[in-house]
A and B are shown apart, each in its own frame.
Chain A
Amino acid sequence: MVFNPTPKQFKALKLVIFVLALLPFLRMVWLTAQGVPVDPVEFLTHGSGDWALYLLCATLAVTPLRRLTGWNWLVRLRRMIGLYTFFYAFMHFTTFLWFDHFFDVAAMWKDVLKRPFITVGFAAFVLLIPLAATSTTAMIKRLGRNWARLHKLIYLIAPLAILHYWWMKAGKHNFEQPIVWGSVVAVLLLLRVWWSVGRPAIRTEKRPAPASVRS
Chain B
Amino acid sequence: MLIRKNPNGIDLPFPSEITPREVYEGRRAFLAKVAATAVAGSSLWEMANREAFAQGTVQKLPATRNPAFSTNEKQTPFEDATHYNNFYEFGTDKADPAANAHTLRTRPWTVQIEGEVKKPMTLDLDRLVKLAPLEERIYRLRCVEGWSMVIPWVGYSLASLIRQVEPTGNAKYVEFTSLADRSQMPGVRSRVLDWPYIEGLRMDEAMHPLALLTVGMYGQVLPNQNGAPVRIVVPWKYGFKSAKSIVKIRFVRDQPRTAWNGIAPDEYGFYSNVNPNVDHPRWSQASERRIGEGGLFTPKRKTLMFNGYNEVASLYTGMDLKKNF
Q: Point out residues on A near B: beta carbons under 8 Å.
A: 32, 35, 38-42, 44, 99, 102, 107, 111, 114-115, 117, 167-168, 170-174, 176
* Chain B 269-307 interface mask (CB, 8 Å, partner A; 1/0): 000000000011111100001011001110110000000
Interface residues on B, range: 20 to 34
Residues of A within 8 A of B300 (CB): 102
A32 CB to closest chain B CB (Å) equals 6
> When the two chains form their complex, are residues A40 and B282 in contact, meaning their CB atoms are under 8 A apart?
no
Contact A38-B192, Cβ < 8 Å, known A102-B299, A111-B284, A172-B92 = no
Residues of A within 8 A of B289 (CB): 39, 41
Contact of B27 with A by CB under 8 A: no
A105 CB to closest chain B CB (Å) equals 15
Contact A38-B263, Cβ < 8 Å, known A115-B282, A176-B190 = no
Contact of B84 with A by CB under 8 A: yes
> When the two chains form their complex, are residues B192 and A172 in contact, meaning their CB atoms are under 8 A apart?
yes
Q: Point out residues on B near A: beta carbons under 8 Å.
A: 80, 83-84, 92, 94, 147, 190, 192-193, 263-264, 267, 279-284, 289, 291-292, 295-297, 299-300
Main secondary structure, interface of A, reads helix
Contact A168-B282, Cβ < 8 Å, known A38-B84, A38-B94, A41-B296 = yes
Residues of B within 8 A of A114 (CB): 279
Q: What 9 A-B pairs are tightest by C-beta distance, nearest first?
A: A38-B84, A40-B296, A171-B282, A38-B80, A174-B192, A174-B92, A173-B263, A173-B192, A99-B296
A8 CB to closest chain B CB (Å) equals 42
A171 to B284, CA, bound (A): 13
> When the two chains form their complex, are residues A38 and B291 in contact, meaning their CB atoms are under 8 A apart?
yes
Contact A39-B299, Cβ < 8 Å, known A115-B281, A168-B282 = no
Residues of A within 8 A of B193 (CB): 173
- In the complex, which residue of chain A has the Cβ closest to the Cβ of B83? A38
> When the two chains form their complex, are residues B295 and A35 in contact, meaning their CB atoms are under 8 A apart?
yes
- In the complex, which residue of chain B has the Cβ closest to the Cβ of A111? B284
Contact A115-B295, Cβ < 8 Å, known A38-B80, A39-B84 = no
A170 to B283, CA, bound (A): 13
A213 CB to closest chain B CB (Å) equals 41
- In the complex, which residue of chain B has the Cβ closest to the Cβ of A102? B299
- In the complex, which residue of chain B has the Cβ closest to the Cβ of A114? B279
